Structure 1
């Protein structure tokens, strides 16, 4: 079988009337079942005593639910008769002729490609519409609508895609993966979409009169309107719920952040709540508006983009989707990549602080990986961001909180320098030199835990520096991890200083100074004990387990967290629907269970940890050169657009 020529296979979904099967078997695209030779096997009854016992027949490992079922094959080499692709309909001119049911249209839907060369199901203006579900998700009939079923990572991750046009007429489609950026694929798609018919071909007139027994759909049979999204809850905590959305027509990916379920329920009961509850809702709405306003002013390549703000019936922030998930769940971070995290976050903080805003919750959970090649991260979760003139409350995440936030004083005031401290602790976490936080947390009373922990971080780094000094540790101790906030360097100052570190590595004195400059404990240096569910110390409350009341499942504004009970973003990505292995799917290169595999840019190159004693200078030079090359993508000052 030429897999590069195969686009998809379409199987009938079993029904008592056999309507879908009849449509498949009578089509010119039909292929006989792979395990059916049409001849019944001869069965020998009985055996002579002297005959040797024959071994049992081997079980075919490729046997699956598809075997024995008829199907049609859509191939690049079999050009359809029209530019509409392979057409399903009741008219005899259709490529797959559907049963003569009153509710079905002459030309109901087709299988073709969109302008992005994604394989799609396209409703051709049918009367009752078409429904395409992905593992039972994305329900809803639509007319003049398209559904992506191939040529897209998300579509290929779905275990079962069903096309439904009637309760007795349903098809399952299995699309094969291709390199959609290759010139060969592009050329084949163009030829397929042109069709082979002349101007007087198959669908010259989609205005063919309706059959007399066909009536327009009414009532419950009327197709819906608006986009359809596949949704996954990828995070939740004290401040709200984060849900991932994939548009089945465009393939666009977004993230929507909204309040907790109990707050949503109260927002939806507006007008019947008590005065106290209404006051609390007004305060909550104000906090969401402040976060939105803060993000509107932060246009930067290393800050997650705010796409849209929805205020009614409850606050929602529509954000760009970052495919790599949180930094806390990315393994095998190299020295050069950790330097990029530091540089990019400092660049983002420079813009924030110039706008008189402090993030106040810098941690690996709030630094998201946008791509690995090139390595790009973005700051996210601005729920605690605030004007620097109003910084007084205790907030942040565990081990990353700055010492001045722990001060027990009614007059407590601090500055945006808290972000510099937190990012310095994140850097130690990536380098694998942060002391065990849990151990100290369990052994110290709460009233001294914070300040004591900060002193432990500095003391541990100082001890490491005295044992083996280098410029990176010296930079962290002198510019970022300084107990006195007044002596900490600004974000702009740190950005300029850290930019010079890799330049020294590959400069004229590289051979003489390499041991003094580059951190050398390991090439793979990030094996974190961080709790990815660690939340801010100032939660708004616990998340409930209820659904949004009375909301439609087809529109983006409606969020139903019960549709998925996944926790963190990585858990969502790692729990993609399992692929079924069969002869029909045997050639598919299915993604792994890592989130990084969803995007070709996020394929982590594997590296083994190298001990200090076995670390060669040649490897250091290679790592240094990589650091310099990667950092060249940044200008001498932070970018803001």
Structure 2
């Protein structure tokens, strides 16, 4: 390794190949005696693995035999339910996302139960092109869920960059979203925490997406779940705020969240928020107090607004189902 100073006094890091077997940067061989500047995110390898070989991607002769099948490193995100880390699968060399959950949050009194194990088996059996696939689950000192890794980040970040989508773009997004929700609802799975942060983009350019964190809200205690929603309630259906004795979750809560997300996608703004008060955010949601008065809505079609209004019906019995949403003229 050689370190020098750049024109503006910044450190520059180089790697020089002195090996007989070769050194690789991002899969390209440097060549003996050659030097290559390293940049943030470069992948340095001392060998290139081929799928046809009998040797796994990580040859663990130098590791303890009980070494885990994943090498975790960068934290992708951290929330109330879990921390998500980017990881490398030893056997295949593929990047995966590992969701790490505290058992005290996941299980009552920190102990597993049959219901949670059944929920896990149901989620692992899900197979839909617009739902993040659960590859493996490890129940150790913490609960580890290994998921496919998507390069495009969250829909939330895409909205921040674009500010809002055209109707044509939003229609592509919601065609995928509604079909994924239909798949879940047909299996009696309600997401309960749909928001742009839980919708992941497959890559950085297309509008292909997958829902994540589906069903996980059912695996945590009701108290923990409600506490989390109180932190970011903008996408929560009115009935979630009802007292315990009156609270009844149905699939309609997901459709309300879709209405809020569609509003955000087309305007770049949330329909409910403390900035719009008084009244309070909770009262705005429970009374359905939102509008299309902002100038951004002048160019949005009436059919799009009609779908939003149907999805944001405060009475869950009058709210559009996923089948009705898919059949709406705007779709």
- Output the TM-score relative to the length of structure 2: 0.72
- Provide the rounded CA distance (Å) in 2 between the counterparts of 1:501 and 1:290: 38
CA distance in 1, matches of 2:213, 2:15: 51
User: In structure 2, what is the equivalent of residue 400 of structure 1?
Assistant: 235
Matching residue within 252, 255, 269 for 1:420: 255
Q: Which of 295, 314, 319 is the equivalent residue of 2:147? A: 319
Is the 1:403–1:483 Cα contact (8 Å) retained in structure 2?
yes
Q: Within 5 Å, which residues of 2 pair with 1:179-258?
A: 223-224=62-63, 229=71, 231-247=73-89, 250-258=92-100
> For residue 489 of structure 1, what is the aligned residue in structure 2?
320
Q: Quote the residue 1:61 is aligned against.
A: 7
Distance 1:306 1:361, change over 3 A: same
Q: 1:435 to 1:249 in 2, by over 3 A?
A: same
TM-score w.r.t. length of structure 1: 0.40
Structure 2 CA distance for partners of 1:451 and 1:466, relative to 1, 3 Å:
farther
Determine the C-alpha separation between the residues in 2 that align with 1:377 and 1:468.
23
1:501 is the counterpart of 2:330: yes
Deviation at 1:339, TM superposition (A): 1.9
Q: SS of the residue aligned with 1:501? A: coil
Within the candidate set 476, 480, 504, 2:308 is matched to 476
Match of 2:22 in 1: 111
For the pair 1:380 / 2:212, whether they are aligned, the reply is yes
Instruction: Write the distance in 2 (CA, Å) between the matches of 1:320 and 1:297.
Output: 14
For residues 574-624 of structure 1, the C-alpha deviation after alignment (integer angstroms, 9 at most, x for no partner) is xxxxxxxxxxxxxxxxxxxxxxxxxxxxxxxxxxxxxxxxxxxxxxxxxxx
Contact 1:299 1:305 in 2 (8 A): yes
* TM-superposition CA deviations, 1:551-576 (whole Å, max 9, x none): xxxxxxxxxxxxxxxxxxxxxxxxxx
In structure 2, what is the equivalent of residue 158 of structure 1? Answer: 41
Distance (Å, rounded) in 2 between the aligned partners of 1:416 and 1:349:
9
Q: What does 1:27-426 correspond to in 2, within 5 Å?
A: 61=7, 88=19, 96=20, 110-111=21-22, 118-119=27-28, 157-158=40-41, 223-224=62-63, 229=71, 231-247=73-89, 250-260=92-102, 263=104, 280-282=109-111, 289-330=117-158, 331-332=161-162, 333-335=164-166, 336-382=168-214, 384-386=216-218, 394=226, 396=229, 397-408=232-243, 410-426=245-261
CA distance in 1 between partners of 2:154 and 2:115 (Å): 24
**Residue in 1 aligned with 2:57?**
none
Q: Distance in 2 between matches of 1:362 and 1:241?
A: 18
Distance 1:328 1:65, change over 3 A: closer
Q: Cα RMSD over matched residues?
A: 4.3
Higher relative CO (Cα under 8 Å, sequence separation at least 6) belongs to 1
Q: Which has the larger radius of gyration?
A: 1
Tell me: CA distance 1:451–1:492, structure 2 relative to 1, closer, same or farther (3 Å): same
How far residue 381 of structure 1 moved from its aligned partner, in angstroms, is 1.2
Query: Who is 2:51 aligned against?
Result: none
Distance (whole Å) between structure 2 residues aligned to residue 160 and residue 318 of structure 1: 22
* Residue aligning to 1:438: 274
Report the secondary structure of 1:319's partner residue.
strand
1:234 and 1:402 map into 2 onto residues whose CA distance is 28
User: What's the offset of the Cα at 1:460?
Assistant: 1.0
Deviations 1:383-423 (A, max 9, x none): 54449xx9xx8574411111122223514223101100111
For the 8 Å contact 1:357–1:385, the answer to whether it is kept is no
Deviation at 1:366, TM superposition (A): 0.8
CA–CA distance in structure 1, aligned partners of residues 156 and 15 of structure 2 = 48
Asked whether the equivalents of residues 96 and 149 of structure 2 are also in contact (C-alpha less than 8 Å), the reply is yes
